[in-house]
Amino acid sequence: MKIVVQRVKRASVKVNNEVTGKINRGLMLLVGIHESDTKKEIDWCCRKISRLRIFEDEEGKMNRSVEDINGGILVVSQFTLYGDTRKGTRPSFIEAAKPKVAEPLYDYMIDRFKQITNLLIEEGKFGAMMEVDLINDGPVTIIVEK
């Protein structure tokens, strides 16, 4: 599993000019699911990300989590995170989970965040062509891999 975590002032995702997810201050996640991933990796990532201390406290130190600031989480599937560019100039996506495996795990991730937090959890649409709009805060971008 590979997740790009971006601290944002706001973020939204559209499919066919319709907003499917929108948050204010919080985390925007681009989620790549590997062919060998299971619910175990999702559980670990959800716990890690919800507690990741990348928001500033009163002293300006990154000491608060998205839970601490009562932020939102916007989850967007992105199989292209597993694009392998070692050979040639056209990425290979052979390590990315196929939709029949990835989509249930993506849905599980959304549900898991809703179970373990009281935060606003928004989402893109799995497999759709999406327009993602965000204001990166910092910028702060972290890659979480499991």
Residues marked active site are found at 80
129's tokens: 């062509």
Tell me if 5 sits within 8 A of 119, measured CB to CB. no
Cα–Cα nearest to 94, from 82, 106, 78: 82
DSSP 127: T
**Residue 9 φ then ψ, to 5°:** -80, -35
Burial of 126 (0-12, 13-18, 19+ CB in 10 A): buried
Tell me if 134 sits within 8 A of 10, measured CB to CB. yes
